[in-house]
Amino acid sequence: MSKRVITPEDLLQLRSVTSPALSSNGEQLVYVETTLHNEKNAYAAELMKTSLTDPHSTVQLTQGEHVNRLPQWSPKEEILAFISNRTGTPQLFLLSGWGEPKQLTEEKKGVTDFKWSPDGTQIAYTSVQLPEDEKEDKEDKQLEPLVVNKMKYKSDASGFWQGEYTHVFTVDIQSHKHSQLTSGEMSYTLLDWMSDSQQVLVTSVNQKDTDFVFTNDLLILSVETKEQVQLTDQTHVISEASVSPDGAYIAMRAHERAYENATHFEIYLLELATTTWTKLTADWDVQLGPVVAADFLQNTVDPGLVWSQDSKSISLLVSSNGNVDVYQVSVDGTREALLTGEQHVYGFALHPDGQTLVAGISTSGHPGDLYLTKVKTNEVTRLTTSNDSVLDELEVVQAEEIRFTHEEGHELQGWLMKPSGFSEGESYPLIVEIHGGPHAMYANSYMHEFQTLTSRGFAVLYINPRGSLGYGQEFVNAVRGDYGGGDYRDIMAAVDYTLEQNPWIDETRLGVTGGSYGGFMTNWIVGHTNRFKAAVTQRSICNWTSFYGVSDIGYYFTEWQIQADLNETDKLWKHSPLAYVNQIETPLLILHGEKDYRCPIEQAEQLYIALKRREKTTTFIRFPEANHELSRSGKPSLRLRRLEAIGQWFDQYL
């Protein structure tokens, strides 16, 4: 059967298979299967259950096209807890006997996260709590002005801050009795339970004025007395912490901001009996955790630091050289690779035997499935086939790795995708894709945008330039203070190398695109060279001076990354693509979300007006109700429209 090329609409056919969760005995697996619906312009995520010994026994546990996510088994029984928006807001539900789910919470703003207690009698959860005068709905509520007294007053993810804080609660599984463990004008992040099931591990910022506070502290909360014990002293950025099953240790993933947000995380081990901290990964120059720039998978969950049953080791995801692997770090600091390869492991569950994994794995040519992996024998068995019927119809292009040494001495890694239906002797245009961040990593992972471009007859080149994670601390830090310098030279060197190695690419038909930092680089490139005949800039930055005050992260991100503030406007302007607008000759499509608070739409407006005033070739598309996550989790109809606009622009000018 002849296969057809991939279209943007295939997003509606393909399924994300994520969030594997194993029962306490390791026999049953539950996972999340997410689909997009264009008619309802929404996402649906259903819970699926299967047996590790009989994958053909798969059953769907939830119905109704709601978003059901974050499944977690009770440590003691075959009871499943999960978050669902079936009642309108995301609430906590229990499922046992595979009947109708029972609702555990009725929080006004919903539940954001939860953890089972080790003894299976309680669940701790977090919920955003409104100020007292906002908790009760008022009839005929008048529009009220927003009074702002802090710099961190808005968020791309949650909008304007209205005085709400995230607090920690517990609920008893039998009695359904709720207890609020935290209160006051500070937010808490739930991490884990202590092994006695009487205390909860959280992080918080114990300070009211947080405008210039970027660290947090590790705390233990007593469920009975609500007393707090502080374990750290505001010296680290803590992203994760986990308690060993025997209660002897707390493992923490954190860093000390040596390179601000470009700093690699480390694993620290606290021995509770001696209150001794040990850095387990001091000699390991990798990024701990997943940092892949991708556009397809939904409801992925970083499992964090996963303890073995014997409390002797921790398993975690590690990003390195375009791959995300699973490694194990023992309490004495030794390391072992559990699952590696040219692939993106986007989640895993560790079997009680400590030597078996269920892992979600994607590659450049496959959206992702769950696999059972035996560590000692390297035996791999595929457990899910959710996309097989669709993929059987599609011509999916595999990316080919490229590696070369830059003339400045460092090695660069990237990938080249040939056009669908590639034929020797034919000539093809090339599109260069640039990831955001800048501290992210392109990987051996499926990218739907890239596939839709190859289906239109374009080759696609994507690399990890200076500033990308996955290649050591020095490499990731090299972009700070040098935006448009070494990173620009890396990208152009990759273009030169690719053209030299692939004479079938038509060097007179080059395109470039990227989003966020990738949008900044797209703007910078077309302002510094006319080699590209078409460009698409997405959710971009063009003016660091205005970005400083309008982005939700502007004032500190600009100081960290450009290493200048409003007292150094000459430097901010020097690194602003808008300063070079007179040199832009490349036809430029500008895509931006109306509610993007990360790179606000005024950045796009400035660039568009500057180009139009100079009678340059440009078009501006504004996406309603869309924030910075448009390409990854925006409304399905807008995601399709975006992909179509990119493809049509390159069709027109290449």
pLDDT of residue 2: 84
In a 13 Å sphere around the CA of 188, the CA atoms on its Cβ side amount to 27
516 is catalytic: yes
Backbone angles phi, psi at 438, to 5 degrees: -75, -5
Question: How far from 68 is each of 72, 128, 316, CA to CA, in Å?
Answer: 12, 19, 25
Q: Tell me what percent of the residues of the chain surpass a pLDDT of 90.
A: 92
pLDDT digits over 533-558, tens only? Answer: 999 999 999 999 999 999 999 999 99
Residue labelled with tokens 């808005």: 154
pLDDT of residue 134: 59
- Mean pLDDT is lowest, of 378-392, 495-509, 517-531, for 378-392
> Per the structure block, which two tokens stand in for 251?
């493992």
pLDDT of residue 576: 98
Alpha carbon distance 318, 340 (integer Å): 10
Q: What mean pLDDT comes out for the span 574-596?
A: 98
Mean pLDDT, all residues of the chain: 95
pLDDT of residue 98: 78
Decide if pLDDT at 55 tops 80: no
pLDDT of residue 189: 98
pLDDT digits over 346-395, tens only? Answer: 999 999 999 899 999 999 999 999 999 998 888 899 999 999 999 999 99
Angle at CA of residue 98, ends 96 and 104, nearest 5°: 45
Decide if pLDDT at 139 tops 60: no
pLDDT of residue 376: 82
Element housing 494 (H / E): helix 486-501
Backbone angles phi, psi at 599, to 5 degrees: -120, 85
Q: How confident is the model at residue 53 (pLDDT cuts 50, 70, 90)?
A: confident
Backbone angles phi, psi at 550, to 5 degrees: -105, -20
Three-state secondary-structure class, residue 9? helix
In a 13 Å sphere around the CA of 538, the CA atoms on its Cβ side amount to 25
pLDDT of residue 507: 98
pLDDT of residue 377: 86
Q: How confident is the model at residue 428 (pLDDT cuts 50, 70, 90)?
A: very high
pLDDT of residue 64: 85
Q: How confident is the model at residue 37 (pLDDT cuts 50, 70, 90)?
A: confident
Beta bridge partners of 381: 372
Q: What is the 3-state secondary structure (H, E, C) of 176-226?
A: CCEEECCCCCCCEEEEEECCCCCEEEEEECCCCCCCCCCCEEEEEEECCCC
CB 218 within 8 Å of CB 232: yes
Residue type, 167: H
Q: What pTM was estimated for this model as a whole?
A: 0.96
CB 585 within 8 Å of CB 616: yes
Please list, residue by residue across 330-350, b when 16 or more beta carbons sit within 10 angstroms of its beta carbon and e when fewer do: ebeeeeeebbeeebbbbbbbb
pLDDT of residue 493: 98
How do 122-129 and 111-116 pair as beta strands? antiparallel
> Per the structure block, which two tokens stand in for 301?
């969950």
Alpha carbon distance 464, 466 (integer Å): 7
CB 358 within 8 Å of CB 388: no
Decide if pLDDT at 137 tops 60: no
Neighbours of 494 (CB within 10 A): 23
Give the chain's domains with CATH numbers: 4-134+151-390 (2.120.10.30), 398-653 (3.40.50.1820)
Q: Of 386, 516, 540, 631, which is the active-site residue?
A: 516
Q: Tell me what percent of the residues of the chain surpass a pLDDT of 70.
A: 98
DSSP letter at 573 equals H
Decide if pLDDT at 131 tops 90: no
pLDDT digits over 219-271, tens only? Answer: 999 999 999 999 999 999 999 999 999 999 999 999 999 999 999 999 999 99
Q: What mean pLDDT comes out for the span 37-66?
A: 90
pLDDT digits over 153-211, tens only? Answer: 999 999 999 999 999 999 999 999 999 999 999 999 999 999 999 999 999 998 888 99
pLDDT of residue 140: 55
pLDDT digits over 600-651, tens only? Answer: 999 999 999 999 999 999 999 999 999 999 999 999 999 999 999 999 999 9
Alpha carbon distance 220, 215 (integer Å): 17
Quick check: bond before 438 cis, omega within 30? yes
Q: Of 167, 435, 448, 628, which is the active-site residue?
A: 628
DSSP letter at 337 equals E
Alpha carbon distance 571, 604 (integer Å): 21
> Per the structure block, which two tokens stand in for 237?
């950025």
Q: How far is CA 419 from the centre of its chain?
A: 28
pLDDT digits over 70-81, tens only? Answer: 999 999 888 999
**Which residues have C-beta within 8 Å of that of residue 146, sequence separation ≥ 6?**
160, 162
Say if residue 247 is exposed, middle or buried (CB neighbours under 10 Å; 0-12, 13-18, 19+).
middle
